[in-house]
Structure 1
Amino acid sequence: MKRFLWPLVVLAILLVVNVLFSHSFFNVELRGGHLYGSLIDILRASAPLALVALGMTLVIATGGIDLSVGAVVAIAGALACLQISDLGDQNSVTGVLLAVGLALLLSLGLGLWNGFLVATVGIQPIIATLILMVAGRGLAQLITDGQIITINSSPYKMIGAGYWLGLPLNVLIAALVVVLAVLLVRRSALGMLLEAVGGNAEASRLAGIRSRWLILTVYVFAGLCAGIAGLMISSNVSSADGNNAGLLIELDAILAVVIGGTSLSGGRFSILGTVLGAVIIKTLDITIYTIGVPPEITLLFKAIVVIALCLAQSPKFRAAFQRRRRPPAAVPAPEKVEVPV
């Protein structure tokens, strides 16, 4: 719990700032059996980012990085919307499920491609995923033919904008995936194996751990998470934009992972910390609009807050700050020694 102290403090500060500028910020209303309010909006906005950051967490735990998740988000949304737009009846549940299945299958394939380049071919993760980051965005635009595909499908819209039991469905989907991931990596030896591979891949291989299969698996999982997030984003707006969908979401995902306390060098990781980091980033986005930060300095303001949080989490920075604040110890005066005459 101690590792979450500073992220929780920053989240509390952001929430208090929002209340000061909008007194109804904490109000949650039940209308038509659905919950509405600023806090619900934060959770809805955090769900796709939390999923992308979840996959990124496990990839980083093995000592890798995945810069292609934004492109996978765009590809998944584009393929699903293209398939639905070709349906005679866009409200056909069977047709929508088929489109969703194809999009997720392609996302798994793209994750498999990244894992193959990293684990089998031996390409550096940042280079291997950079290839798909560039080519994937072009593939998304090729699927949409460079246009924004607009659809009108109630079943598909449920994924990103629907409700179930009064709560946003995308939040429930993200929570389910997170819970399954936590149970898988913390209730089995998988989490320890991932940390071992990230800590020292060669030593883990010599110890008998099949590190290649683990690395391949986490990239496939990252692709799946990005694909689900792509479906959420495109269904929320009932359209697919191959150029802008998921743009720079990989950077926010990495920030969420860092804020959550996962080491970028591999090894130690925290899934719940990553989810908290995603919520902080989306709360910060809403705070920026609430207090009226000018658009031209929005990114700078966001960077300053993130830097402050990362410094607050750094044990070396806190130790150095405390040493500077601590008053120097008084030097005792030398004792006089009487020399006999």
Structure 2
Amino acid sequence: MSAVIARLVASRLFWPVVMLLALFAINLIAFPGFFAVTVRDGHLFGSLIDILRNGAPTLIIAVGMTLVIATRGIDLSVGAVAAISGAVACSIILGSPEPGSLATVAVAVTVALLISLVLGVWNGFLVAVLGIQPIIATLILMTAGRGVAMLITEGQILTVNSPPFKFLGSGFWFGIPIAVIVAAVVFGAAALITRRTALGMFIESVGINPEASRQAGVRARGLLIAVYTFCAFCAAIAGLILTANTAAADANNTGLFIELDAILAVVIGGTSLAGGRYSLVGTLVGALVIQTLVTTVYTVGIPPIATMVFKAAVVTIVCLLQSPTTAEALRDFRRRLGLRAGKGVVAS
């Protein structure tokens, strides 16, 4: 039994799950109906549903960010890509004579996603081909991307009246929010492709030792470009959801600081910023922790401006609990308990 507990505590998912359960408990105490899920007009509503729906954009971006970080990189431009994606979609819809047409929305979404692929290839080119440090390469697009979005919207907040587009952000399918379904599809596809094929192993090998991977026959450059492209694609999907939810493209605020939430979710989930092994399940738990923390701040009545402070505190606590020093301390503690137990058996 003690061996099973020790194995659970040693898992990188243990402390994030404990943190998530602790946040659930706080919400349950402050709001007894926290776990209640109701059905209205065939749609699911409740605090848990809100957490899943509001946390979907962060999870989608965090999935792409996980693969980037696994290659020993980082992508700071995802918020800007999300803003560009929303701006492109809304500008196309507004410029169409039939903004409420499904075909118009399909074209707008497709163009936005294609542009995100170009932006992702640009990031990958800077990192893989030109050898620029990922934090600098993506900082370029992070800085310029907001300006590009402002140019697309001409500095205005573009409000659209298109039910098919709004459905992407606030619609339901079989009672489940569309945003949650999209996030589940992205997560499932990434897990399937990286864990059921050799791609995940290649990503980890490039993150651990790019030169050794290259000599072993892994095409590191192509892999890096693909990973950054996928991350930008995820950011575009999240941007479309965020924009559709408000039915407006705001170049200044769409996806603002979402790159930080995505990185926090990845770190909380146990993926090392040094590259190598990663955990998509851990990222899922991390995204839930981030969104539940935001919900807890509102539920308890803490001023929303203090949210970033609490996020920093949670990340600090989880990282300390996951640190090698803490793990070594726990191993020493278990050894001492074992020695004491052994002495007790001998004495008896």
For normalisation by structure 2, the TM-score amounts to 0.91
Cα distance in 2 for residues equivalent to 1:296 and 1:248: 14
Q: Deviations over 1:199-252 (max 9, x none)?
A: 000011111111100001000000100000000000001001001111111111
Q: CA deviation at 1:104?
A: 0.3
* 2:190 maps to 1:181: yes
Tell me which amino acid in the other structure corresponds to 2:37: V
Q: CA deviation at 1:96?
A: 0.5
Bigger CA radius of gyration: 1
Tell me which amino acid in the other structure corresponds to 1:157: K
Tell me which amino acid in the other structure corresponds to 1:82: S
Cα distance in 2 for residues equivalent to 1:3 and 1:294: 31
Gaps of 5+ in 2: 1-7, 341-348
Q: CA deviation at 1:292?
A: 1.1
State the identity %. Answer: 57
* 2:290 maps to 1:281: yes
Cα distance in 2 for residues equivalent to 1:188 and 1:302: 34
Which of the numbers 51, 63, 66 marks the counterpart of 2:75? 66
Equivalent residue number for residue 232 of structure 1: 241
Equivalent residue number for residue 20 of structure 2: 11
Equivalent residue number for residue 314 of structure 1: 323
**1:77-88 pair list within 5 angstroms:** 77-88=86-97
Cα distance in 1 for residues equivalent to 2:221 and 2:333: 46
For normalisation by structure 1, the TM-score amounts to 0.93
* 2:91 maps to 1:99: no
Q: Deviations over 1:145-177 (max 9, x none)?
A: 111110111100111110001100111111011
Tell me which amino acid in the other structure corresponds to 1:24: G
Q: Deviations over 1:306-338 (max 9, x none)?
A: 2112212223124347769979x99xxxxxxxx
Q: CA deviation at 1:178?
A: 0.9
**1:35-184 pair list within 5 angstroms:** 35-184=44-193
* 2:224 maps to 1:215: yes
Greater shift, 302-311 or 142-151, is seen at: 302-311
Q: Deviations over 1:41-77 (max 9, x none)?
A: 0000111000101111111111111010010000000
Tell me which amino acid in the other structure corresponds to 2:120: G
* 2:264 maps to 1:255: yes
Cα distance in 1 for residues equivalent to 2:240 and 2:114: 12
Cα distance in 2 for residues equivalent to 1:45 and 1:294: 19
Q: CA deviation at 1:121?
A: 1.2
Tell me which amino acid in the other structure corresponds to 1:210: R
The root-mean-square deviation of aligned C-alpha atoms, in Å, is: 1.7
Cα distance in 1 for residues equivalent to 2:251 and 2:313: 30
Cα distance in 2 for residues equivalent to 1:121 and 1:308: 37
